[in-house]
Amino acid sequence: MIMAVYILADIHGMYDKFMRMLDKINMTDEDILYVLGDMVDRGPHPIKVVQKIMNMKNVRTLIGNHDSGVIGTLKFFAMNDSYRGDTSTEREFQTLDQQEKMNVIEFLSELPYYYDISVNDQQYILVHGGLGNFSPGKSLDEYTIDEIVWTRPDFSVPYYTDRIVVCGHTPTQLIEENDRPRYIMKKNNYIAIDCGACFRGGRLAAICLDTGEEFYV
């Protein structure tokens, strides 16, 4: 079996959908799954999602704005037992033992914010949000984390002519250029894969870059 590359994003605590997606794509040990950030917040089991991903060896993860945003709060909760969490992320985090808490914080703190990969001779840039303050000659290292995790591309204008940008963060239901809401949008050298798993009527989506095959839960 030849290695395949799968991508999904914005699980947002939807652990059950994530498990069903893993069943559906049925990866081999040689396959790689890229998770483009926003594992936490909104859905019921954000920390379970993070811990599952931490324990899968063929997964590469990017940081999203929500993952980045909770690190400081989780550090606070790891040091202060007497406060009650408000969000699903905080509450689930508080059920962990101290070592597990530190492992989660360390994992989130070390996540990269982009990948630059090549599949079938096509180059892909993987980010959570977009490339804020884009300039064609700017190297990916020169973007700030905020420019990559918080921004939304103008999907009517490609960033690159020779590279495809794969992003989450912006549910495809909200993309004006998208003719197929609730489906992955492939247009103008973008692949937008957040189909709003945590929202009513939304779905968790994944794509196999090698075959173009799309998966929905």
For the beta carbon of residue 152, count every other beta carbon within 10 angstroms: 14
CA dist., res. 132 & res. 149, Å (int): 9
Beta carbons of 29 and 141 less than 8 angstroms apart: no
**Minimal distance in Å, beta carbon 9 to Mn ion?**
8
**Minimal distance in Å, beta carbon 189 to Mn ion?**
21
End-to-end CA distance of the chain: 25
**Minimal distance in Å, beta carbon 156 to Mn ion?**
21
Between residues 64 and 130, which has the closer beta carbon with respect to Mn ion? Answer: 64
Between residues 60 and 171, which has the closer beta carbon with respect to Mn ion? Answer: 171
Q: Is 169 in the site for Mn ion (CB under 5 A)?
A: yes
**Minimal distance in Å, beta carbon 33 to Mn ion?**
18
Distances (CA, A) of 90 to 17, 54, 67, 142, 165: 21, 18, 12, 32, 32
Options 43-51, 75-83, 96-104, 162-170: segment touching Mn ion (CB under 5 A): 162-170
CA dist., res. 25 & res. 205, Å (int): 11
**Minimal distance in Å, beta carbon 146 to Mn ion?**
12
Options 43-51, 151-159, 164-172, 181-189: segment touching Mn ion (CB under 5 A): 164-172
Angle between helices 46-54 and 98-109 (to 10 degrees): 80
- The strand order across the sheet containing 59-61 reads 59-61, 32-35, 5-8, 205-208, 214-216
List, in order, residues 6 or more apart from 199 with CB less than 8 Å away. Answer: 171, 173
Q: Is 151 in the site for Mn ion (CB under 5 A)?
A: no
Site string for Mn ion, 28-67 (x = CB under 5 A): ----------x-------------------------xx--
Between residues 51 and 68, which has the closer beta carbon with respect to Mn ion? Answer: 68
Q: Tell me the residue nearest to Mn ion as measured from the CB.
A: 169
Binding site for Mn ion (CB under 5 A): 38, 64-65, 169
